[in-house]
Amino acid sequence: MKTETAKGVLRKAKPKDAVKIHELVNEYAKEGLLLPLSLNKLYDNIRDFWVYEEGGEIVGCAALHIVWEDLAEIRSLAVKREHHKKGVGKKLVLRCLEEAKEYDLKRVFVLTYQVEFFKKLGFRELDKRLLPHKVWSDCINCPKFPTCDETAMIRELG
């Protein structure tokens, strides 16, 4: 599915996008703001990703990763710095939420440093300990594990 807006195109990622997504996500991972992604893991999960393009260039990405029967996570949300405050991140998150509804999921969570951004999109803070243990499988590779300083947030889908 592809959604064209006045400025860009929001679409499902394709395998040919993996290198650009890898570069974008890992730019923030170097700063400790996102978990790093290997190209191998990215190709394994490319169908989870959405990208936002402007002028044929990927300027943002996000993934909806299904965790359980009724639960998914939005992960790897990254927008090129020169495109911040232009609605790209919001478009990506809203599309991930729409996709979650298409799969009849009831809840979507994030682990984030951008609490205010997600509050504006209807997420509320949640004690991390209330998330299923399966969620933490990716965290084991994080240098901050087990003392994660990200905030868990969740949104109920109606």
Enclosing domain of residue 99? 2-156
Amino acid present at 30? K
**Tens of pLDDT, residues 61-89:** 999 999 999 999 999 999 999 999 999 99
Alpha carbons 11 and 30: distance in angstroms, whole number: 26
Query: What is the value of pTM for the model shown?
Result: 0.88
**Average pLDDT of the chain?**
89
Which CATH number covers residue 53?
3.40.630.30
- C-alpha torsion 93→94→95→98, nearest 10: 130
**Tens of pLDDT, residues 112-130:** 999 999 999 999 999 877 7
Region of 5 on the Ramachandran plot (φ > 0 left; ψ -120 to 50 alpha; else beta): beta
- The number of domains in the chain is 1
